Structure 1
C-alpha cells in the first residue's frame, strides 16, 4: 500500500475514543488530517465501512490494515493513521482528543493539549 500526500497537513492528533480503539485494537490511535484531494492510496484493494452514523473507515482488503477515517462533520477532509508513513516521526502530533475516554492503565506524560471530545 502506498500513501501519497500533496499539500498541507491540516492537523494531527492522538485519539482515545472507544470507537477508534476498537477499530484499531489499540489503546490510542494517531492521525493526521489532509484535504480529500491532497492524498491518495494505491496498491491492494481498498475497502470501507460505516463504523457509526456519518463515519467511514478505510482499510486494506488484502491484509485488513486500518487506513483512514472520514466524518460527515468534516466534509472535504480525511484522516490517515500516522503509522502508515515510512517516517511517522515526521508528523508532530498536536493534541489528544477524547481524553475523557482514554484507558486508565496507559501512562502518557506529554504537554500536549487534552480535549474531552
Structure 2
C-alpha cells in the first residue's frame, strides 16, 4: 500500500476527508459491533497510522459504541466513516474514493463471522443490467450520491 494523498467521504457529500501520507494497517472486522455499525457482514477499516487526516468538508458525528471506542458517521446520510479507539483512529475503507488503494490485509473478530460469509465468493454472479426484471427500473435511476472525487461544492449548482 502506498499513498501520498487519498480522499473520501460519505454518500451524500456532507462529510469529506483527505489522508496525506502512508496509512497504517487495513483490515476487516467480523465482530458483532462492527457488523451492526456497518449493517454488513464485516467492516473494513484502515488505520490513519502516521498519515495526516483532514476533514475537508463537514465533520462526522460520533456514537460512543463501547467504553473504549466511538464511531464516526455522517449525520445527514448515515454513512459509517471512522472508528476511534485507544490504539488510534481508523477510517472506513469503502468511504475512500479509491477503496482498492487501501485493501485489507488481515481479518479480526473472526469469532463473529456469520456462517454464510465464506460462501459469498461461490454465489452465482451477474451484473446489475443482466437482471431482466430490474433493467427498466435501473436504467431510470438518477444518482444523488456524491461522486468518487473531491468537488468544490456539493450538491453541484446547476447554471
TM-score under structure 2 length normalisation: 0.61
Deviation at 1:40, TM superposition (A): 2.0
* Runs of 4+ residues deviating >3 angstroms: none
1:20 counterpart = 2:34: yes
> 1:56 maps to what in 2?
70
Match among 89, 107, 110 for residue 100 of structure 2: 89
More strand as a share of residues? 1
Deviation at 1:36, TM superposition (A): 7.7
Separation in 1 of the partners of 2:92 and 2:62? 15
Deviation at 1:108, TM superposition (A): 6.1
**How many pairs align?**
107
1:4 counterpart = 2:18: yes
Separation in 2 of the partners of 1:89 and 1:37? 17
What stretches of structure 2 of length at least 5 have no aligned partner? 1-14, 122-159
SS of the residue aligned with 1:30? strand
SS of the residue aligned with 1:32? strand
Higher Cα Rg, which structure? 2
RMSD: 2.0
TM-score under structure 1 length normalisation: 0.81
What stretches of structure 1 of length at least 5 have no aligned partner? 111-117
